[in-house]
Amino acid sequence: MSIKILHTADLHLGSRMRSLGQAAPDFQEALIQSFDNLLQAAAELEVDLFLIAGDFLEMAEIEDRELNRVYDLLARERSFPLLIVAGNHDYYSPASPYATVFPEIPRLYVYPAEEIVRLDFPDQDTSVWGVSFSSLYQEMTLLPDVGTEKRVLIYDGFDFVESDQEPDSGLTNKIALVHGELLAGARPEGMYNPLPSQMIKNSRLDYLALGHIHKAGELPEDDRIDRRSTLAMYPGSPQGLSFNESGSRHALIVELDNSELKSVSALPSASRMFIEIRSQLDSSQSDQEIIDQIVAEVQDLDRENYKRHSYKIRLRGEAPTALNVPRLIAGLREQIGHVSLLDELHPAEDVEELGEEQTLRGLFVRKILQDLATVEGEEDRDDLQQALRLGLAAFRGDTLHDVY
């Protein structure tokens, strides 16, 4: 029998996102909205199961009203069961909402910690094994697998009830849900549930739904899926938390049929994005020309929703004379919203000629040029170019502004 799954993880609902400054409230709301979007997409796609592989909540930071809102979203009428394991940021404890209030929600199950539970879905011919973190760290490997369960529950279309059946699952599709770090080889060494790839390869699962790593795993092509071994996948975080998670984000739609993995596809999920752009300038451009250029570059990326995102724009090329970066930022915020500029411009002057001067300015230029000749990293080169440009501006007597 075929089954369609939505697999997500690492939503971190309730995160304060303090590093974002004034943009934080918008992106806090985006976390909630991205989850709501996934719930609606799951209904439209008629998924059979909705899986969350840990760090659903930022438990140390989420406020009571936010938690109530998440509860309301989970309690809305839906046709599909939703299964959660707790990770290191929302680990399971007797006092957590996972144990106190979430059990009241129909068609929702949070796996407990320290014992593996198997949930059987007879109508979908599917079993799902899972286990939660019990603390911030989980050094002992917890890999839910066929035969490792301590309890078995059956889904009756509304609730999960204890089963007296034999331990071995007779259902065809075998899935596990867990938060952890996937490791190469066979040695289980790590702080966050180390999962050696050899152990996964030897399991009897069809699909392992993982969480913990915010970068999504590479999607396998349908004709290149190895159906002889367990496929373990990270969906990545569905909504970016910072510029370290820039660009589009997604959940996974996984389809199995009679224990055979048929497809894994991306379901776009980000309500707002973190976007980095490199904008090439020349020394003849006015402030308005620069603003118009950057706005056009931003609109080309997402014409309908470009004002929703947060942008980090790297200014490259020759620096216009007396460029005032803070004024540029103010002008851009009026048109595209949250934006920061990284000044990586180089001076328009002939620096080789300046370096021949027998002056303090010439000595400064020669030192920078020597460093540029030996530097290897692109970021270090950009820093030196910026130091050269700002240093020359200081020698001219220009007022220097912050570079961000």
pLDDT tens digit string along 73-126? 999 999 999 999 999 999 999 999 999 999 999 999 999 998 999 999 999 999
CB of 62 closer than 8 Å to CB of 14: yes
The model's pTM: 0.86
pLDDT tens-digit map of 311-356: 999 999 888 877 888 889 999 999 998 999 988 887 877 888 989 9
Whether 204 and 237 have beta carbons less than 8 Å apart is answered as: no
CB 227 within 8 A of CB 211: no
Percent pLDDT > 70 in the chain is: 97
Provide the pLDDT for residue 111: 98
Which residue, 137, 144, 134, is CA-closest to 96?
134
Cα gap 286→355, rounded to integer Å = 28
3-state SS of 118-132 is: EEEEHHHCEEEEECE
Strand arrangement of the beta sheet that strand 338-343 belongs to: 274-281, 310-317, 338-343
Residues facing 210 on adjacent strands: 178
The burial class, CB within 10 Å (0-12 / 13-18 / 19+), for 76 is exposed
pLDDT at 404: 44
SS3 of residue 276 by DSSP: strand
- Beta strands at 49-53 and 2-8: parallel, antiparallel or unpaired: parallel
At 394, the pLDDT band (50, 70, 90 cuts) reads confident
Question: For 297-312, what is each residue's pLDDT tens digit?
Answer: 999 999 999 999 999 9
Q: E strands, 205-284, where?
A: 207-211, 231-233, 250-257, 260-268, 274-281
CB atoms within 10 A of CB 255: 18
The predicted pLDDT at position 204 comes to: 92
pLDDT average, residue stretch 155-170: 81
pLDDT tens-digit readout, 201-250? 889 999 999 999 999 999 988 666 776 789 999 999 999 999 999 999 99
Which pLDDT value is given to residue 223?
65
120-148 tens-digit pLDDT: 999 999 999 999 999 999 999 999 999 99
CATH architecture observed for domain 2-268: 4-Layer Sandwich (3.60)
* Percent helix / strand / coil, the chain, rounded to 5: 30, 25, 40
What's 304's DSSP letter? T
To the nearest whole percent, how much of the chain has pLDDT over 90?
A: 73
Contact 85, 177 (CB under 8 A): yes
Question: Cα–Cα distance between 280 and 139 in angstroms, integer?
Answer: 48
The chain-wide mean pLDDT, for the chain, equals: 91
For the chain, where do the domains classified as CATH 3.60.21.10 start and end? 2-268
- pLDDT at res. 336: 93
